[in-house]
Structure 1
Amino acid sequence: MVVTRSRWTRWLRRLGFGVLALVLLAALGITALLAWTLPPSQGSVRLAGLGAPVAIGFDGRGIPRIAARDERDAAMALGWLHARDRMFQMELMRRGAAGRLSELVGASALRLDRFTRTLGLARRARADLDAQPPETRAVLEAYAAGVNAWIAERGRRAAPEFLALGAPEPWRPEDSLLWGKVMGLWLSGNWREELLHARLAALLPPERLRDLWPEETSAGRPDQPQAALDPAALGRLAAALPAFPAPFTLPGSASNAWTVAGARSASGAPLLASDPHLGFQAPILWYLARIDLEDGRMLAGATSPGVPFLVIGRNARLAWGFTTTQSDTQDVFVERLAGPDAYETPDGPRPFTVIEERIAVRGGETEILRVRETRHGPVLSDLEGMPAAEGTVLAVAMANLAPADTAAAGLHALNRAGSVEEARGAAALITSPSQNLMTADAAGHIGLLLTGRTPVRRSGDGTLPVPGWDGAADWTGWVPFDSLPHRVDPPGGILANANNRVAPPGGPVFLGRDWIEDWRFRRIGQMLAARERHEAGDFVAMQRDTVSLLARVLTGPDSLLRGLPPAEGAAGTAQALLLAWDGDVAADRPQPLIFHTWLRRVGQRALRAGGVPEGTIGAHSAFLRRVLAPDNAGAAWCEGDCRALAARALAEAVAELQGSEGPDPAAWRWGNRHVARFEHPVLRAIPGLGAAARLEAVTGGDEWTVSRGGLRGGTGPEAWEHVHGAGLRLVADLADPDATFAIIATGQSGHPLSLHWGDLLPIWRDGGMVALGRSMAEGAPAIQLMPQGPLDEAGG
């Protein structure tokens, strides 16, 4: 039989159409299956345990308004909403904190799972549930019931990710406490600095070390005992610890908050602004909501999925925000071994507390982790698998791991507080993490209150790991809450904090030795002083300010840059651009890209010349100011001549940028590299899906601007990616409960196919806000949550 070419062609065409049809059908099927997981925006739902009907309305951006009889019903509704919009985010949070991520994503998460299992966050959260007062436990239980109602109704459809992973486990009240454990861990990172300090102390002379960590010489500074450690072992331990920007980790924290009293406000009542700075992800950590109760109480602002309380925002009488205090609440202890299963103490040998953890790994074998704890805390050096030095191990004491953590009760009390004085009582209950609580009330009072347990050391300043066997550096208790440096109603009517030092050197309370430079704080002070009276819109504009005072110092009239000989060609153009710059780190300008690339090259050259191993530490702003001081104060880091080093670094920076940005420096733009990226923590690793779910926005700002543009770091072009900053901005005017304005960086939904996956990003990028008033447009989507009656419970 002879088959003609035309018949072959027709057959192949039919086959091609058939394959295409199958592909389209498969795509339509997958799309339909994913669409099946989209949550409803209207209807009636019955919840067992609900005390009275709850009305939920949504504005055009998916932000709910909850009208409930009491706070217990409101908590159940919020739990249902969080699960409806962010169930997979909640699942990742609790699994990450419990050391169970490997069950979902495989061996790539083992490093983080080993770390959190070693710290025992889940064990401690279960124990802390008993420390909460009955009314707080009731809210935690109601919230869990709301979450579980969604899980029970939807199963694998609770979020699109569960189609592949299976239905999530029921939510437990103690799961909500894990959020605070994670915040306490990542917002208090001094123990990492101790390990790094110890590693470099063994490699550098004391004078070089003082340049990296300027010595605190104020009166009252405690003496620092030391213990010899192997720098190579410390390097291996550092490699075994999870660190930002790896998935499921957070960066070194930074935030802004400020408030003015009524005398400095156009409305006659205090104004408050808060923008916490954390790592970016899609969806962002925050979820906006407004809650109104029958007795007139209300809450408006930012919740966090997994938590039944408002974290940052206001009620009818009080507004609040948080910044990290930077207090030193963690210490590394070198424990001397006394045989294979014990360690030395002042009272003689003591056996380790040993806990066996079983880590299930998707696609692999279960791993058995043997966790050892000392009287100071968990043994971290077991993660690296070798002793820190011959016959020793490293244990870490963390205030956030101490028992009877009542942070949830404190946040609950803060939601209920009606004045700065009542907020003070709530702050005393927030045992972790150490934060600055910025507050303002409708009566006209403003306050900066410190939260968290701060240890009292028998000796030492927390700079370096200390001997644990003799008790000389043991913690003897906590700084009394009333002794912390709180401030209420200052004479000028202004309070601000941007993670700057809150206690003067040599003050009555020692909070810590190392503090970040106060560039953002000083810029906030400049803007607050520029007006006699402020409106809410002024605070919104301040939050998007991108002026860098550090850039003004390093390129200004008295800078070393002014003393460099004029360069030729493109380097000369770049140099002239920097000298004419006003320090505004705007996305549409070339100078920020030139400036940061130059500073990176300066820091790399100086650290290498000073004997610091590559990749060990970054060049912080105080170090860069020393190297670039006009008087050559940093000569020891510059092979004697910092001007020559700065000139070479500028030439190298320009050559590097020409390779990626083109020949003309005037045509370069910061926004070409400084792009805010919000990626799904799991889908980001899947080709095609990661790009489809990614959200991006061109932004200005950098590490030192009020509108924080935290950088990824490293040495490649991706170093300038914006991965850390204000994922939430909030401004509240205490004159009116409806004068509450907020924005988050992604959208309300955690579903990539939802209209609210990224619809708030353009508003966030452009510096806008959304009003969280009580009323909404008529006809807005609404859900009614109804109590489940006896017939419903019986299935009738």
Structure 2
Amino acid sequence: MMSIKRIALIISIITFFIFAIITTWIYSQLEGSLPLLEGKINVYGLTSEANIARDEQGISTITANNREDIAVATGFVHAQERFFQMDLFRKNSAGELASLFGSVALDYDKSHRLHNFRQRAIDIVKHLPDQERSLLTAYTKGVNAGLRALKSPPFEYLLLQQAPAQWREEDSILVIMSMYLDLQYGQGEREQSLAALYKMLEKDVFAFLNPSGSQWDAPIDNTEHNEEFSPPSLPISTWPNLSTIAKSSRPTSNIKTTKKYHPEEIPGSNNWVISGSISSTGSAIIANDMHLRLSVPNTWYRTSFSYPLNTQQIDITGLTLPGTPLMVTGSNGNIAWGFTNSYGDWSDVIILETNEDKTQYLTPQGYKPFTMQRHMIAVKGEKSKEYIVKETIWGPVINEKADGTLLAYRWVAHDRQAVNLYAQALEYTKTAKQALTIAAKSGIPQQNFVVGDSSGNIGWTIMGPIPQKSSSFGELPQSWANGNYTWKGYLAAENYPKVLNPEQQRIWTANSRVVGGEMYKYLGNGGYALGARSKQIKQRLFAKERFSEKDLLAIALDDEALFLKPWRDFIINSILNKENLEENSQLLEVSKILLADDTLTASIDSVAYRIVRNFRLQLRDNVFSHLEKHLTSTDKSFDLSTISHQLETPLWQLINVQPDNFIIPNQNWQQLFTNTLRQVVTKMTQNQPLSAATWGQQNTSNIRHPLSAGVPLIGNWLDMPKVPLSGDSYMPRVQGRSFGASQRMIVSPGHEKTGIMQVPTSQSGHPWSPYYQKGHKNWQEGLPSSFLPGETKYQLTLTNY
């Protein structure tokens, strides 16, 4: 018989070999999922040779003999570098994430299956013009060729134990539908919340909490002082509801509360453009930073296209969106353009009038039966789940209220006009005026489109379809049964609101209201951001008579808290009085910190900024907490975060007037202010002195790969380093822990060599890539990185069969 030692040795050797085999296989799979960087490869779909040159950061320059081959090569490189990201985009809007992640994503998928986006995407593809369809077909061939050329699937599929599915033409449409879901309300959440407010509160209270404007408005047409946008007066009624307060009240002086502040991060952006008459280059200069959730890899893929078109050579540099073939934003030497989310009114919630058993709903043509859409949702590791969606002639049923009322949703994203590839024409457009017309004909989620050209002209319009409505719908759900409310198609391009070469030589947008008057009537209000960023950008743009690219970068990185300075003064003047300072040593320290900080910036070492910022949010929560509790207990569709930006104006009026008819349980206004500041300080000084509680400590980056949370052992390997970040929501330098500028671009058409581009994370989502994380530090620290790709380090040639 073998000895125990010999048996143990044999087992150890076998175990070692098994471990070595598994390790070698995993290593080969990870290495095999890296993109091809050099050499030659045959690619189906090309009509001639294409070249992909990459610099040290992996920024690509794609050269080909025609635009379709550019699309093939773009699809190829996107698939090689970003296929998992593309897969998440398409599955997100199609409601198919449970096929990757299992039942944990089932409810999320159901919320998106409401929109039937896959079928809508197939329909859109069928109706694209031939030239756009040809571009999409070429891109799709490139994606599938790039996926096949990998020696092993992208590493994420190894972790998920899944196989990637091939790309289809409609998947590119689904990627853009994901942007609709990210940038707009998918189920009319804001409109439903306003309806709850309107139903439960007196009319004067509702008007007070839903102002159409504020002191922070900074539209480009100088309509900030128009009467229609003036904040309403304080309510006369006693509010919130007294009986509800009596039942649910608790002293807000409880400083042990752990309630989190309502988030103030909304998908948005800043952009501005100056004319050639005030620029250092003589051309216009445009600046753009798009604010999105930040993850690994970054949303955008940096590239340049170079190809002949008729008698001209097209050379364009900027950002592409993996999953789509177009340049999203950039410069072609003649024009440069950028976007901010528009927050116009692009959807409507409809109150349905139904028969008794709710099998039919009333339309202007009489009662109609609901259409039932049957969906089978694939769930990883389980049987597929059936899901039924009720459809109307206007859109899907999105909610059933407590009283049995059904709500439907009319949304631009449901129509063929929602997506097209017409924006490809921007690649060869030469003037700002021409670009405004192209923008008005393009199908994307509606954006503030800002453009400048090499002759110094500048302009603004809305890019994306604008619905024509039968009347002014307002912001509340309505019944469409009698025909008074309806959409009458889409606005013609020649009727789009636009501004070209304003006298002020400057244009700026930042998700707040951009225009008033007749132009505003086309846009409506879909939940504009507070205008604090717009106002600060405007102020900086009028502080000088001439600007360079670096001057505009300084504005993009501006973290001075102009918006919060009145709040700092309020704390000093209304709370830090002699009596409070004598009773509380912590408040004495607060006083010293605030009085010593005159500038108040969201810098990483600022304690004063963190105090003032958190005080404002905590006070807002304390002031409106009982109202919120009452509304959410009465109507589950109410979500305070959908209207949190508009609460700044009524909050500021309340705390300065301190009216007796506003009910604060168990305390007066002065007690509320003092208790709130104590709450903030108590939270900041848990296990540390107040002097150590800096803004950077709270605002530490947390930019993660989508899978890192589910695979803890490799999380640190995939995620970006955690570092303190300056900036916040109400200043040009928008920056949260995992939210902020997904890019910063400053470029003057015709002067791209002196342009600036900063992008977080890196070009690659693969941790073994030679350029993983390269460029991230420049974004993090605000260093002026080059707009154009650098010297070629890797060169890959794609050849046709």
Using the size of structure 1 for normalisation, the TM-score is: 0.86
Partner of 1:194: 191
Select which of 414, 425, 431 maps to 1:419.
431
Partner of 2:697: 672
Alpha-carbon spacing, 1:493–1:35, altered in 2? closer, same or farther (3 Å): same
* Alignment partner of 1:457 is 2:469: yes
How does 1:14-29 map onto structure 2 within 5 Å?
23=19, 26-29=22-25
* Alignment partner of 1:694 is 2:709: no
> Is the Cα contact below 8 Å between 1:628 and 1:634 reproduced in 2?
no
Bigger shift: 199-208 or 687-696?
A: 199-208
Alpha-carbon spacing, 1:334–1:599, altered in 2? closer, same or farther (3 Å): same
> Is the Cα contact below 8 Å between 1:708 and 1:726 reproduced in 2?
yes
Match for 1:617: what amino acid? L
Q: Deviations over 1:591-637 (max 9, x none)?
A: 23222332232122101244644984148455345435563256626
Match for 2:194: what amino acid? H
* Alignment partner of 1:740 is 2:755: yes
Task: Indicate the SS of the match to 2:373.
Answer: strand
Partner of 1:366: 384
> Is the Cα contact below 8 Å between 1:41 and 1:783 reproduced in 2?
yes
* Alignment partner of 1:212 is 2:196: no
Alpha-carbon spacing, 1:516–1:290, altered in 2? closer, same or farther (3 Å): same
Task: Indicate the SS of the match to 1:60.
Answer: coil
* Alignment partner of 1:648 is 2:675: yes
* Alignment partner of 1:329 is 2:342: no
Task: Indicate the SS of the match to 2:524.
Answer: coil
How does 1:184-583 map onto structure 2 within 5 Å?
184-189=180-185, 191-214=188-211, 252-294=266-308, 295-338=312-355, 339-381=357-399, 387-405=400-418, 407-504=419-516, 509-513=521-525, 514-556=527-569, 561=574, 564-565=577-578, 566-567=580-581, 568-581=584-597, 582-583=599-600
Q: Deviations over 1:440-465 (max 9, x none)?
A: 11122110111233334334544222
Shift of 1:646: 1.6
How does 1:741-780 map onto structure 2 within 5 Å?
741-773=756-788, 776=791, 780=793
CA distance in 2, matches of 1:775, 1:709: 27
> Is the Cα contact below 8 Å between 2:110 and 2:387 reproduced in 1?
yes
* Alignment partner of 1:39 is 2:35: yes
Task: Indicate the SS of the match to 2:388.
Answer: strand
> Is the Cα contact below 8 Å between 2:734 and 2:740 reproduced in 1?
yes
> Is the Cα contact below 8 Å between 2:100 and 2:160 reproduced in 1?
no
CA distance in 2, matches of 1:78, 1:526: 40
Bigger shift: 21-30 or 642-651?
A: 21-30
Shift of 1:297: 0.8
Q: Which structure has more RCO (C-alpha within 8 Å, separation ≥ 6)?
A: 2
Alpha-carbon spacing, 1:16–1:530, altered in 2? closer, same or farther (3 Å): farther
Task: Indicate the SS of the match to 2:394.
Answer: coil
Task: Indicate the SS of the match to 1:141.
Answer: helix
In structure 2, list runs of 5 or more residues that go unmatched: 214-225, 231-259, 633-638
CA distance in 1, matches of 2:434, 2:212: 38
Partner of 1:54: 50
Task: Indicate the SS of the match to 2:153.
Answer: helix
> Is the Cα contact below 8 Å between 1:78 and 1:146 reproduced in 2?
yes
CA distance in 2, matches of 1:674, 1:276: 19
> Is the Cα contact below 8 Å between 2:575 and 2:674 reproduced in 1?
no
Q: Deviations over 1:358-401 (max 9, x none)?
A: 101012221111122112111112xxxxx325453110000121
> Is the Cα contact below 8 Å between 1:58 and 1:781 reproduced in 2?
yes
Bigger shift: 594-603 or 478-487?
A: 478-487
* Alignment partner of 1:617 is 2:640: yes
> Is the Cα contact below 8 Å between 1:628 and 1:642 reproduced in 2?
no
CA RMSD, 1 decimal: 3.0
Select which of 708, 713, 723 maps to 2:734.
708
> Is the Cα contact below 8 Å between 2:282 and 2:455 reproduced in 1?
no
Alpha-carbon spacing, 1:747–1:507, altered in 2? closer, same or farther (3 Å): closer
CA distance in 1, matches of 2:670, 2:650: 12
Match for 2:607: what amino acid? P
Match for 2:479: what amino acid? P
CA distance in 2, matches of 1:138, 1:612: 54
CA distance in 2, matches of 1:18, 1:311: 54
Bigger shift: 421-430 or 271-280?
A: 421-430
Partner of 2:602: 585
> Is the Cα contact below 8 Å between 2:59 and 2:789 reproduced in 1?
no
> Is the Cα contact below 8 Å between 1:211 and 1:623 reproduced in 2?
no
Match for 1:632: what amino acid? V
> Is the Cα contact below 8 Å between 2:337 and 2:449 reproduced in 1?
yes
Partner of 2:651: 627
Task: Indicate the SS of the match to 1:354.
Answer: strand
How does 1:88-103 map onto structure 2 within 5 Å?
88-103=84-99
Alpha-carbon spacing, 1:612–1:390, altered in 2? closer, same or farther (3 Å): closer
Select which of 134, 137, 140 maps to 2:136.
140
> How many pairs are equivalent?
736
CA distance in 2, matches of 1:321, 1:258: 9
Shift of 1:507: 5.9
In structure 1, list runs of 5 or more residues that go unmatched: 222-244, 382-386, 711-721, 789-796
Shift of 1:516: 2.2
Task: Indicate the SS of the match to 1:350.
Answer: strand
Shift of 1:479: 4.1
Task: Indicate the SS of the match to 2:340.
Answer: strand
> Is the Cα contact below 8 Å between 1:68 and 1:292 reproduced in 2?
yes
* Alignment partner of 1:119 is 2:115: yes
Select which of 59, 63, 80 maps to 2:59.
63
Bigger shift: 99-108 or 161-170?
A: 161-170
